[in-house]
Amino acid sequence: MAETEFTRKIFGEALAEYGAIDTSVVVLTADVSSSVLTSYFAERFPERFYNVGIAEAGMIDTAVGLALGGMTPFANTFAALLLRAVEQIRSCAAYADTNVKIIGSYAGLSDFKDGPTHHSIMDIAVMRSMPNMAVIVPADSTEVRKMVPLVAQYPGPVYMRISRADMPVVFNDSHRVEIGKGVTVRDGKDVTIIANGHLVSRSIEATGLLKEKGIDARVIDMHTVKPLDMPLLRKCAEETGAIVTVEEHSIIGGLGSAVAEAISRDYPVPIEMVGIADKFAETAPDHDSLLDYYGMSVEDINAAVQRVLDRKERK
Amino acid sequence: MSPDAHSAELIEELRKISVELRTDALRMIYRRGQGHPGGALSAAEVIAALYFHHLRIKPEVPDWENRDRFILSKGHASAILYPALAKRGYFPVEELDTWGEIGGRIQGHPDRLKTPGIDMSAGCLGHGISIGAGLCLAARIKGLDYRSYVLLGDGECQSGIIWEGVMLAAKYGLSSLIVILDYNKVQLDGRVDEIMPLEPLREKWASFNWNIMEIDGHNMEEVLDSLDEACRSSDKPTVIIAHTVKGKGVSFMEGKAEWHGKAPSTDELEQAIKELTGNG
């Protein structure tokens, strides 16, 4: 098993640590601070922490007011529950272009035990369709930690996913992160696997098996779904001629859709998408088996690579 | 109600301004062929009192950090706010003619990014209290003493998010949050008490531990006194329940849901202006 880290804790600590440096940061939570671990910030800076109760819509609008007042609010709850506040996010964060940082924790299927009400498989589709909104899905705990200050300093509204899972370690501390710039994790010439979040590590794992079959796969960590790194995307399409997208999200509207929209216009190449089919998942004893069961296993990634290479050959 | 007596001259001046705002609003709605006359006319005295006397603002420095904030939570009443902003110098009065045009700065509903003097974009209902509360929390951290004023419609009190904000403002004791509830008793589809009753409204706010006043929202002295009184609250947010008449001042619009969102004809405009200005 790959080494893992307690991602939520690393996020919570990073937020508290950054809050010490940047006193404009305020944190809001809708009764889940001990789950999403904004409790670390609350302990250190109680005067800059607001627990609004189970009131997600009100939390977003309160954060908007704080942003209008010159603060840098981080509004935190489960990603699935943010769907309650979509109109607030659209009207008051995105349209009004306020400096609100929205953190969707327990994202994807990572709250495996609580079932489809708590799974978040459409958050990226909703958030990235909003003008002005940046959308970020970090690949591991290191990337989460390094993203926190960047998200705070990014001008305008940002949505960032945090997994409930202990994410496998992908990057070491020398990892350089920039919003809007994809990361080439592994170079390759036959096909590009564009992944984000928890599935970056699985995509890297897939390249080992592919290599045994003589397939040299490139892996991109596309942590920023919006704004999408178009120069990198075009380069990958040109150099490898085939793309597989891999994400812990519905295949409707997520990273795969974003890549397909861009590539179909810019440099069309065959694309296969790995993600959750257009259906709700179910409860499971653990996160990994849920990812496997719903079509995001290492084998599923390999099969998608095989399919896209067949299509590339036929061209 | 208040020890700060307002002079008869001030009251008369503001009353005149409220009439001007009403006629401006109706002319704008007529010219555009679009807009919401009913809820604009019901708020004229409140807007006149805020923008021409009560608010601490510097129109020449629209983004002054310690200015009082105003949020038109009932954003569809924009036609009564825009003339007030123009007359206070936030933008040229002639620009009111561009209301709703593509490429113009004066949007159908308020847009904080386009129109000088608009503190927050609005349009969808229910946002004002939570946003106003957030502004008050920011002031507390920054050590600023501005207040946040929110003009709320009665219909939007039917949305749950209003009460999320009401709870939050009470929890944090936001005495610098002042809500004026334009209780004109009529919403898009009909009478509020038929669509979804709000009564007992005063008791609702009281049970959430707010400071409450009830006034005649068309009586300028009561409007001014209640705003002063609200500023004396030391530990609670205030709601001023302003009893008003939808379409106030125009006989054929008063109390009529059909005038929530339609423009007058040429004859109707002429008749309305006559009634408002007393030149009948």
CATH code assigned at B97: 3.40.50.970
Q: How far is A114 from chain B (nearest CA, A)?
A: 26
Closest by Cβ to A66, choosing from B65, B112, B138: B138
Distance (Å) from the alpha carbon of B202 to chain A's nearest alpha carbon:
22
**B265 CA: distance to closest CA in chain A (Å):** 32
Secondary structure (H, E, C), chain B: CCCCCCCHHHHHHHHHHHHHHHHHHHHHHHHHCCCCHHHHHCCHHHHHHHHHHHCCCCCCCCCCCCCCEEEECCHHHHHHHHHHHHHCCCCCHHHHHHCCCCCCCCCCCCCCCCCCCCCCCCCCCCCHHHHHHHHHHHHHHHCCCCCEEEEEECHHHHCHHHHHHHHHHHHCCCCCEEEEEEECCEECCEEHHHHCCCCCHHHHHHHCCCEEEEEECCCHHHHHHHHHHHHCCCCCCEEEEEECCCCCCCCCCCCCHHHCCCCCCHHHHHHHHHHHHCCC
Residues A298-309: pLDDT tens digits? 999 999 999 999
What is the C-alpha to C-alpha distance for residues A74 and A15, in angstroms, rounded to an integer? Answer: 9
Mutating which of A66, A90, A95 best tests the B interface, going by the most B Cβ atoms within 10 A?
A66
Residue B1 lies in a domain: no
- In chain A, which residue ranges form alpha helices assigned H by DSSP? 7-21, 33-36, 39-44, 56-68, 86-88, 123-128, 141-153, 199-212, 230-240, 255-266, 287-293, 298-314
Q: Which token pair is B92?
A: 């040229």
Give yes or no for A22 touching B (CB within 8 A): no
pLDDT at B5: 85
Task: Check CB contact under 8 Å for B131 and A62.
Answer: yes
Instruction: Write down all domains in chain A, each with its CATH number in brackets.
Output: 4-168 (3.40.50.970), 183-314 (3.40.50.920)
In a domain, B252, yes or no: yes
- Are A50 and B172 inside 8 Å of each other by CB? yes
Give the pLDDT mean for B60-81. Answer: 97
- Percent of chain B, pLDDT > 90? 97
- Provide the phi-psi class of A77: left if phi over 0, else alpha when psi is between -120 and 50, else beta: beta
Which among B112, B131, B137 has the least Cβ separation from residue A50? B137
- CA B30 to chain A, closest CA, distance in angstroms equals 27
Q: Is the peptide bond before B200 cis (omega within 30 degrees of 0)?
A: yes
B161–A66 C-beta distance less than 8 A? no
List per-residue pLDDT tens for chain A, 315 residues long: 579 999 999 999 999 999 999 999 999 999 999 999 999 999 999 999 999 999 999 999 999 999 999 999 999 999 999 999 999 999 999 999 999 999 999 999 999 999 999 999 999 999 999 999 999 999 999 999 999 999 999 999 999 999 999 999 999 999 999 999 999 999 999 999 999 999 999 999 999 999 999 999 999 999 999 999 999 999 999 999 999 999 999 999 999 999 999 999 889 999 999 999 999 999 999 999 999 999 999 999 999 999 999 999 987
Contact A275, A218 (CB under 8 A): no
**Which residue range is the domain that position B150 belongs to?**
8-277
Residues of A in contact with B134 (CB under 8 A): 61-69, 73
User: A96, B69: Cβ pair inside 8 Å?
Assistant: no
Q: Between the CA of residue B111 and those of A91, B60, B137, B149, B182, what are the distances in Å?
A: 10, 19, 23, 17, 21
Q: Is A58 on the interface with B (CB under 8 A)?
A: yes
How many residue pairs bridge chain A and chain B with CB atoms within 8 Å of each other?
A: 99
A58 interaction partners in chain B (CB closer than 8 Å): 130, 161, 164-165, 167-168
Domain count, chain B: 1
**Does residue B2 form part of some domain?**
no
Count CB-CB contacts under 10 A for residue A3: 8
Nearest to B134 among A47, A69, A91 (CB): A69
Q: Considering only alpha carbons, which residue of chain A is nearest residue B110?
A: A96
Taking the whole predicted model, whether its pTM rises above 0.80 is answered as: yes
Is B124 close to A66, i.e. CB distance below 8 A?
no
Separation in Å, CA of A80 to nearest CA in chain B: 18
Q: Looking at this protein, which amino acid is placed at residue B22?
A: R
A66 contacts B137? CB cut-off 8 A: yes
Q: Which residues of A fall within a CB distance of 8 Å from B113?
A: 96-97
Write the residue in B124, B141, B164 that is nearest to A91 by C-beta.
Answer: B124
Asked if A126 reaches chain B (Cβ–Cβ under 8 Å), the answer is no
- Does residue A69 sit at the B interface (CB-CB below 8 Å)? yes
- Calculate how close chain B gets to A10, using CA atoms only, in Å: 27
- Is residue B131 within 8 A of residue A68, CB to CB? The reply is yes
B contacts of A72 (beta carbons < 8 Å):
none
Nearest to A198 by CA among A263, A305, A272, A294: A294
Chain A nearest-CA distance from B138, in A, is: 5
User: Nearest residue on chain B to A28, judged by CA atoms?
Assistant: B134
Whether residue B165 and residue A58 make contact (CB cut-off 8 A), yes or no, is yes
Inter-residue long-range contacts of A262-266, CB under 8 Å, 24+ positions, other chains counted: A262/A228, A262/A230, A262/A233, A263/A233, A263/A237, A266/A230, A266/A233, A266/A234, A266/A237
Q: What ipTM score was computed for the predicted complex, to two decimals?
A: 0.97
Q: Is A61 in Cβ contact with B65 (below 8 Å)? A: no
**Which residue type occupies A169?**
V
Side chain identity at A129, as an amino acid letter? S
Q: What is the pLDDT of residue B2?
A: 47
Residue B121 near chain A (CB below 8 Å): yes
State the pLDDT at residue B4.
64
- Domain membership of residue B206 (yes or no) is yes
Which of A29, A47, A60, A61 to substitute to test the interface with B, most B CBs within 10 Å? A61
Tell me which chain A residues have a C-beta less than 8 angstroms from the C-beta of B170.
Answer: none
Give the residue among B132, B75, B117, B166 at the shortest CA–CA distance from A68.
B132
Q: How distant is the alpha carbon of residue A234 from its chain centre?
A: 21
Nearest to B177 by CA among B68, B46, B47, B44: B68
- Tokens, residue B148: 């946040």
Which residue of B lies nearest to A88 if distances are taken between CA atoms? B127
pLDDT tens figures, B234-246: 999 999 999 999 9
Q: Is residue B111 part of a domain?
A: yes
Judge whether residue B104 has pLDDT over 80. yes
- Which of B69, B131, B136 faces A64 most closely, judged by CB atoms? B131
Half-sphere exposure of A167 (CA within 13 A, CB side): 33
Q: Which residues of A are catalytic?
A: 56
Q: Which two tokens stand for residue B33?
A: 């062929």
